[in-house]
């Protein structure tokens, strides 16, 4: 499997699974080292590079708003714009013991906004107020119905 190597002077957001790697420069600069000795590419904030299983690199640029949305979790926030409630629940559930469980009726609905990542109950209140959902809780779950 191919891999990406960086010399970093700033911060980099990296996602990786067995068949895919992606990195986004958040702050500062990153120098991507190529497969051949001496191959280097300097990357600036917002630059995204993805590596396919066949070792091909794809470059793109994220706008500032998208970059801020993707990194909001580093400041204890979650910024939702295009995510479904099911996807939003997955984000909150990664960081909280009390798990959000959306119903089938609400799972594909969308709610945009900036929410405190550590307060899933406030997010549930927004779902209730804006989307007309009902909130039911037990000791370990927040059910959005």
- Residue-wise pLDDT for 85-141, tens only, equals 999 999 999 889 999 999 999 999 999 999 999 999 999 999 999 998 899 999 999
User: At residue 54, does pLDDT exceed 60?
Assistant: yes
**28: pLDDT confidence band, cut at 50, 70 and 90?**
very high
pLDDT at 53 over 90: no
Write down the residue that tokens 């990406």 correspond to: 4
CA distance 94 to 8: 27
Q: Give the helix ranges, DSSP H, for 4-63.
A: none
Between helices 120-131 and 85-95, what is the axis angle to 10°? 160
Phi-psi domain of 3 (left: phi exceeds 0; alpha: psi -120 through 50; beta: other): beta
Residue 1 pLDDT more than 60?
Answer: no
Tokens matching residue 98:
């009390």
When the pLDDT of each residue in the chain is averaged and rounded to a whole number, the result is 89
Query: What is the per-residue pLDDT for 74?
Result: 82
pLDDT of residue 106: 95
Within 10 angstroms of residue 115's Cβ, the number of other Cβ atoms is: 19
Q: In which band, very low, low, confident or very high, does the pLDDT at 38 lie, cut at 50, 70 and 90?
A: low
Give the pLDDT score at 37.
Answer: 60
CA 35 to chain CA centroid, nearest Å:
28
38-61: average pLDDT: 89
Tokens of 122: 């406030």
- Range with lowest mean pLDDT among 12-16, 30-34, 37-41, 76-80: 37-41
* Span between the terminal Cα atoms of the chain, in Å: 44
Instruction: Measure the CA–CA gap between 12 and 127, rounded to whole angstroms.
Output: 32
């Amino acid at each position: 499997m191919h891999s990406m190597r960086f010399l970093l002077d700033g911060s980099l957001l990296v996602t990786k699974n067995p068949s895919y790697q992606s990195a986004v420069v958040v702050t500062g600069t990153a120098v991507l080292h190529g497969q051949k000795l001496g191959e280097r590419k300097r990357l600036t904030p917002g630059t995204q590079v993805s590596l396919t299983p066949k070792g091909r690199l794809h470059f793109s640029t994220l706008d500032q708003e998208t970059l801020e949305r993707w990194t909001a979790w580093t400041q204890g926030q979650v910024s939702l714009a295009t995510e479904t409630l099911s996807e939003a629940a997955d984000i909150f559930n990664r960081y909280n013991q009390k798990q959000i469980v959306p119903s089938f009726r609400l799972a594909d609905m969308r709610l945009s906004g900036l929410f405190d990542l550590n307060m899933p109950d406030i997010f549930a209140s927004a779902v209730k107020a804006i989307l007309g959902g009902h909130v039911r809780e037990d000791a370990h779950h927040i059910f959005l119905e």
